[in-house]
Amino acid sequence: MSLSYTVRESFSGFTRTKLSSLLSILTIAISLLLLALFALVSLNASRFVESLRNKIELEAFLTEPVTAEEIPALEQAIGAIEGVKSVAFISKDEAAKIFKQETGEDIGTVLDFNPLPPSFRITLREGYKTTAKIQAIHDRLLTIKGIDSVIYRRTLLELIDQRTQALHNVMLALGVLISLSAVFLVSNTIRLAISAKRRLLRTMELVGATATFIRLPFLLEGILQGILGGAIAAGALYLFLVYGVRLISAELAPYVRMDTSFYLLVIAAGTALGMVGSVISVLRFVGRAERA
C-alpha cells in the first residue's frame, strides 16, 4: 500500500466535498468548543464549590457548667469519630472575642454576664463534607454526654450538593448530544466523499485492491477533519480564557483557569470524533458504493 497515495486521496476528499468538509470541521470545532466551555464551567465551579465546602465546620456547644478536667475527655471523644480531622476548644472568653470580631459589638457592654457557652470547633477530613456524612457526624456528636447542641451550615451544604448534582447531569446530557451531532456530520461528510468516488471504488475492487486499501483514505480524511476541528476549538478556548477572564471580578478570576493538557485533550477529542464518524460511514457505505 502506498502511503503517499493514501495521504493524497485523504486530502482530495477536502477538494471534492469542500462545503461539507468545511461544515464538518466547523461542527466539530463548535461542538468541542461548547463541550470545553461546559467543562470549563463545571471544573471551575467545582473548584469554587470545594472552596466553600472546605469552609464548612461543625460547632459543638457544651452543657454548662463544664470543668477543665472534662474538656480533654470530650475532645478525645469527638476526635475519635470517623471523619473528624481536628478539634479546637473555644472558651467562653474566646467566644466573646470572636463575637466582637464578627459583629463589632462587645457583649460585655450589653449584658452583665457572658451568655456564650464554651464549644468545640470541628473540621472534617476530605470525603466527609457532604450533607449525609456531616449529618451522621452531627447525630453522633449529640450522643456524647456533655454536648448540648451542634450547629453547621446545613442549608448551604444542601444547596451545594443539589446544584453540583444538577450541573453534572446537565453537562452529561449536553456532552452526549453535542458529541452525537458531531459524529453524525463527520459520518455524513465521509458518506458524500464515498458517493463521489463510487465508480473509482468499483474499479479498484475489480483490479484487486484490498478493503483496507480502499477504506484507509476515508478513515484518514475523517481523522484530519477531527484534528482540524479540535485545533480550532482549542485555539478559540485559549483566546476566550485570555480575554474573557478580564471581564469577571477579581474574586472569581482565580477559579477560571485551565491546565495546558486540557487543550491537548480537546484536540484528542476532536480526533476521536472524526475517527468514529469516519469509521461508521466507511463500514456502512464503502461496500454499498463498490456494488453500485
For domain 57-152, give the fold.
Alpha-Beta Plaits (3.30.70)
The pLDDT confidence band at residue 141, using thresholds 50, 70 and 90, is very high
CA dihedral 168, 171, 175, 176 (to 10 degrees): 60
Q: With a cut of 70, say whether residue 154 has pLDDT above it.
A: yes
- Joined together, the cell numbers standing for residue 67 give 470543668
Give pLDDT tens digits for 9-54: 555 655 666 676 777 778 778 877 877 877 777 777 777 777 777 7
Residue 185: closest CA among 282, 286, 289, 277: 277
Q: What is the pTM of this model?
A: 0.57
d(CA 167, CA 40): 12
Of 64-78, 100-114, 183-197, 261-275, the least confident: 183-197
pLDDT at residue 140, rounded to an integer: 92
**What are the residues facing 260 on neighbouring strands?**
none
d(CA 206, CA 223): 27
Give pLDDT tens digits for 207-254: 665 666 666 777 777 788 888 888 998 898 888 887 776 666 566 666
Residue 282: closest CA among 218, 192, 223: 218
The pLDDT confidence band at residue 289, using thresholds 50, 70 and 90, is very low
Where do the CATH 3.30.70.3040 domains begin and end in the chain? Answer: 57-152
**Residue appearing with cell numbers 482530495:** 12
